[in-house]
Every structure is written in C-alpha cells, then in structure tokens.
Amino acid sequence: MGLSVNLRLLRERSETLEGELATEEWASDFNDELVVFASPLRYRIEAELQGENLFLQGPLSVTLDCTCGRCLKTFQTTVTASEFAAFVPLEGEDALTSAGDFGDLTPLLREDMYLALPTNPVCNPECRGLARAAKSQEIRPEKGPNDSPSPWAALDRLSL
C-alpha cells in the first residue's frame, strides 16, 4: 500500500496529493521504546514531473506518544517536516520505485520523517528528570540499623 502517484497522469499535469497514511503503511519497521506513533502520517504534497525527474514538495506531520528520556513521563508531541522536498529520477540507479504507471512515494516520506523524529525525547527542555528525586533522598537523614557511631570516630580519638 502506502502512497503512490500515477506518473502517466502526471505527464499531463501536476497534482496535489493530500491525505493520511496509517502507521502500518509507512512505518511498520519502526521500533523505538521512547517514541510511538499516535496518529497517521499526514501529507500535502505537490507532485510534478520536471523532464525525467519527479519533484515533490510539501509538509508532512505526525503526532507521537513520547516517553521523556530524563523523567520517564509520557507526553504527546507533533513533529512536522515542513520543508519536505524530493527530486527523484524516473530511470537509472537511484530511480523511483515504481510498478507500471505508479511510482511509490512511501520510502521518500519515510526517510524524511524518520530524520525528523526526536532521538532522545524530553518532556521539557528544563526537565531535571530523576536527578531531583535522587537528590531529595540523599538529603533525608538515614535512620535504622546502620545508624551507629562511625568506626572512624574511635580512630580520630586515638590520633589525638
């Protein structure tokens, strides 16, 4: 499935492709513990042929459920690749993947969108994470079986 464009029709006139791609259609191989897709991939792409090349341009966006890498809180964020653009030859080694008249745009969208995803999501740039909780534990005075006089106290007295 994914997103394809009819190249034969594109020879006659350029086209605007607008819609959504379900996660399994474009990112089925994506696997990240901290980032989960919470919406389809939304696209609005101008497609046109320039000679024997396909030119694509337009914004892509997707909503993510992220886990903060510092405090492990979950939060939602939307990532937009507003500058998405691709210029792909129809023939040769780097040619667009196509079947008959249909060129497959999915790999192009995937590549750009993966690059736009956060590699280390943080709920807030100011997030102090778990360090804060650990610190308040340090301050808390320890009580319990270990609360005996330091063995060094005896040595200190001897050294006098």
Binding site for Zn ion (CB under 5 A): 68, 70-71, 73, 123, 127
How far is C-alpha 12 from the chain's CA centre?
36
Please list, in sequence order, all residues whose beta carbon lies within 8 angstroms of the beta carbon of residue 84, skipping any fewer than 6 positions away. Answer: 45, 56, 57, 58, 59, 60, 109, 112
Q: How far is the CB of 137 from Zn ion (least distance, A)?
A: 18
Angstrom distances, CA of residue 122 to CA of 34, 71, 74, 134, 140: 10, 8, 9, 19, 28
What single letter denotes the amino acid at residue 63? Answer: T
Q: How far is the CB of 61 from Zn ion (least distance, A)?
A: 23
Please name which of 67, 72, 77 lies closest in space to residue 129, comparing C-alpha atoms: 72
Q: How far is the CB of 64 from Zn ion (least distance, A)?
A: 15
Measured from the CB atom, is 32 or 112 closer to Zn ion? 32
Q: How far is the CB of 69 from Zn ion (least distance, A)?
A: 8
